[in-house]
Amino acid sequence: MSTAPEVSSARARAVQMAEAMAMEEHSLWHDAARQFIKNRLAVGGLIIIVVFVLAATLGPYLAPYDFLDQEIPNALQAPSREHWLGTDELGRDIFSRLLHGARTAALLGFSSTAVGLLIGVAVGTTAGFAGGRADQFLMWFSDLVQSVPGLLLAMLVNTTLRRPIGRWFDAMYEQTRNPAYLNTLWLDYVLVFGALTVIGWPGQARLIRGLVLSLRETDYALAARAVGAGRLRIMTHHIIPNALGPTVVSTSAGIGGAIVNEAGLSFLGLGVQPPNASWGSMLNRSLALWQSFPHLMIAPAVTIGIIRIAFIFCGDGLNDALNPHQRKL
Amino acid sequence: MGRYLIIRVGRWIASVAIIVFVTYAMMFYGAADPIKRMFMTRNESDKWLDQLTIDALREKYGLDKPFPEQLKNYVSRLLVGDWGNSFAESNRPVWDMVRAKLPISMQLGLAATVLITIVGIPLGVLAALCHNHWPDAAIIGTISFVNGIPQFVTAPMLMLLLVLGLHVLDVPYGWKGLFDQQVILPVVVLSLGAVQGVIRQARVGMLEVMSADYVRTARAKGLPERLVIMRHMLRVVLIPVVTSIGLTMITMVNGAIYVEKIFNIPGFGSLTLNGLNSADYPVIMASVLVGTLIILVSNLLVDLIYPLLDPRITHEGHD
């Protein structure tokens, strides 16, 4: 019989094909990374973000001066070799203050987005899986939060929580005698963090609920259920991996937005209070002097703009890389 | 439609009621003492206001009452159109303050809306007509760039460029009416934050409509391209664009707060900021309510107008 060689050659071909497929098989993340690296704007954005995070963590060691050091005789100097970006109205080095402001922005931007994401995941998955009344209630509630203009809500939270949280800080100091509780810097941070979290979570909750609802109904989730996979397995093997892409993208956008909102609140004089450094409050103080000393205004404004755009480009790159099926027209 | 309307309006009223309650509670338990704010920060010599005067003032403003009673008083007066009197501005009725300041912000917002309409729609159409060519890429690239930058950054940068750099404008400061040249920068800054929605909507709508059969028919019967665009494509595209303009309201309300601070415009945004800074409960309440009502009313209008403009959309399937 001459079938044996045929079978073996067919088998060989199958093995060959399988090997070829194995070589071309990439994980989602591998593909996404390749796609992302091809996008030059996104990589540029990512590099700026990395520099920003480094500046935030290492800032105090890199800064040429202490961000609180006042040299009144040297006030309002234009950029020079000693002071790279000049000095402000109290003779403080602007570059050092920008570095310290990066710390404020990064700390609040990342932490409030992370907590907002946690709340969003909790609310979104509950709403998506429970359905019915619970779903209606949770979505109505997040709609309600979103129907107050975000900035107004943040301002309200920031102002009205100052006194109760300040009192709580005082009480904690009385109990523990830990001087950290007397530091108003931390009080400002807690307040802005709270305000940013309150306005951040509804968007995440909405996104995650939508993902749960749509992914639950996909053919592959149905197929998994048909072959007897349990809820947990469908969750961990089918829903979470596919929900990660959009969530990563929205989180990246959320961090950029939170950084801008922190600067905005501080710009309005509500967020991080002087003498602590925030890009927003630096911009606020420059409003009085910008006509004679434009360098006071340029430094923080350009920094906020660059960081925001870096997050947008990075987010767009992530979106194209992780959600290839929903690329825009 | 009737049932849908009732459900919508019912939910709407519930939302407003909850917002009133939560805002009032937050202020009552959180905000600084308005009496102390009023008399101890403005004037240093009044710092040691004696307790008797403080108590008298408290009674005068009804601040000595417990929370439920204060809330009840506030709401019952609100229902008959009395927004209360300002604490900080010598007992001025809040309604008068809102009536004096809101129109300024409305005029700014309206001017910005007109600007984004007359600039946004043509740009979106242009981008769609040049799909996959450089004008499309340039327009989309620019708006994704501009859109992200917050108003409190664009405004200073434009001021530096136009006032200090090119000397084409005076320093914009204060409010001298809608037709003063000082309005230019605030309106441009407000529009920059909101124009991208209109451009994107117009572009995507045009791209969808371009391959429609009736557009091909119009071309086939020999209609000049200009008329194909104006009569057959734009008309369809305008519906979602008009509604997307309604949705830019949230950007306008948020933007007004920044823009009015930067340019010292005595509008609704500065009313809000001053109210928060002086713990002026009735003013804060009014700001949050008006801000939220603007958003809620524009969302409701968009929802209600949409089916009138586009008969394919009904609300029968909802809820």
Walk along chain A (329 residues) and give the pLDDT tens digit of each residue.
445 556 667 777 777 766 665 555 567 778 888 888 888 888 999 999 999 999 988 877 887 777 777 777 777 777 777 777 777 777 788 888 888 889 889 999 999 999 999 999 999 989 988 888 889 899 988 988 888 888 888 888 888 888 888 888 888 888 888 877 777 778 888 889 999 999 999 999 999 999 888 888 888 888 998 998 888 888 888 888 888 888 988 998 899 999 999 999 999 888 888 778 889 888 888 888 877 888 888 889 999 999 998 998 898 888 888 877 664 44
Per-residue confidence (pLDDT) for residue B115, from 0 to 100: 92
Give the pLDDT confidence score for residue B131 in this predicted structure.
84
Nearest to B254 among A151, A287, A308 (CB): A151
What tokens does B163 get?
A: 């006032």
Determine the distance in angstroms separating the CA of B172 from the nearest CA of chain A, rounded to an integer: 12
User: Which residue matches tokens 């790159």?
Assistant: A317
Mean pLDDT, residues B272-294? 84
Confidence of residue B319 (pLDDT cuts 50, 70, 90): very low
Q: How far does B295 lie from chain A, in Å, by closest CA? A: 7
Say how far apart CA B279 and CA B29 lie, in whole Å. Answer: 12
Please give the pLDDT value at position B251.
Answer: 79
Give the contacts of A324 (CB within 8 A, at least 6 positions apart): A35
Q: Would the pLDDT of B47 be above 60?
A: no
For residue B32, what pLDDT band results from cuts at 50, 70 and 90?
low
Residue B318: the pLDDT is: 44
Q: What is the mean pLDDT of residues B147-166?
A: 84
CA-based torsion, A116, A119, A121, A126: positive or negative: negative
**Which residues in chain B have Cβ-Cβ distances shorter than 8 Å to A155?**
257, 272-273, 276
- DSSP state letter for B85: B
Buried b (16+ CB within 10 A) or exposed e, B84-105: bbbbbbeeeebeebbeebbebb
Contact predicate A106/A53, CB 8 Å: yes
In three-state secondary structure terms, A91 is coil
A319 min Cα distance to partner chain B (Å): 14
Question: From CA B272, how far away is CA B257, in angstroms rounded?
Answer: 8
Q: Which of A221, A90, A86, A199 is nearest to A153 (CA)?
A: A199
For residue A295, CA distances in Å to A59, B59, B280 come to 21, 50, 36
Q: With left for phi above 0 and alpha for psi between -120 and 50, is residue A59 left, alpha or beta?
A: alpha
A87 forms beta bridges with A93
Kindly determine whether residue B272 and residue A309, on different chains, have CB atoms separated by under 8 Å: no
Amino acid identity for residue A210 in this structure: G
Of A147, A150, A287, the CB nearest to B15: A147
3-class DSSP assignment, residue A312: helix
If you write DSSP's letter for every residue of A139-172 in order, what string do you get?
Answer: HHHHHHHHHS-HHHHHHHHHHHHHHHHHHHHHHH
Q: Do B19 and A147 touch (CB under 8 A)?
A: yes
Residue of A nearest to B262 (CA): A287
Q: List the one residue out of A220, A177, A194, A52 whose CA is nearest residue A119.
A: A194
Integer Cα distance of A321 and A327 in angstroms: 9
* C-beta of residue B88 within 8 angstroms of C-beta of residue B166: no
Could you count the other beta carbons within 10 Å of the beta carbon of residue A191? 24
Residue B236 CB-density burial (10 A; 0-12 exposed, 13-18 middle, 19+ buried)? middle
Q: Please give the interface size between A and B, counted as residue pairs whose CB atoms are below 8 Å apart.
A: 125
Distance of CA A168 to the CA centre of its chain: 28
Q: How confident is the model at residue B97 (pLDDT cuts 50, 70, 90)?
A: confident
Tell whether the model's pLDDT for residue B269 goes beyond 70: yes
Answer whether B144 sits within 8 Å of A291, measured CB to CB: no
Q: Give exposure, B237-249, as e/b (b: 16+ Cβ within 10 Å).
A: bbbbbbbbbbbbb
Q: Do A294 and B204 lie within an 8 Å CB cutoff?
A: no
Decide if B30 and A164 are in contact by the 8 Å CB cutoff: yes
Q: Please write the tens of the pLDDT for every residue from B293-308.
A: 888 888 777 777 777 7
Could A160 and B11 be called an inter-chain contact, meaning their C-beta atoms sit closer than 8 Å?
Answer: no
Helix or strand run (H / E) with residue A38: helix A28-38
Best of B24, B29, B140, B152 to substitute, by most chain A Cβ atoms within 10 angstroms, is B152
SS3 B80: coil
Query: Measured between beta carbons, which residues in chain B are less than 8 angstroms from residue A304?
Result: 149-150, 153
What is residue A205's predicted lDDT score, i.e. its pLDDT?
Answer: 93
**What are the backbone angles phi and psi of residue B85, rounded to the nearest 5°?**
-115, 145
Residues B16, B292: contact at Cβ < 8 Å?
A: yes
Q: What is the pLDDT of residue A2?
A: 47
Mutate to test the interface with B, among A153, A162, A167, A268 (most CBs of B within 10 A): A268
The DSSP H or E segment spanning A209 is helix A184-216
B93 — phi, psi (to 5°)?
Answer: -60, 135
Residues 6+ apart with CB under 8 A from B35: B54, B57, B58, B61, B63, B87
- Where are the alpha helices (H) located in chain B, listed in sequence order? 2-30, 34-40, 51-60, 67-79, 94-129, 134-148, 151-159, 184-210, 213-220, 225-227, 234-246, 249-262, 268-277, 281-309
Instruction: Choose among B249, B247, B260: nearest CA to B152.
Output: B260
**CA torsion angle for B104, B106, B109, B114 (degrees, to 10)?**
-110
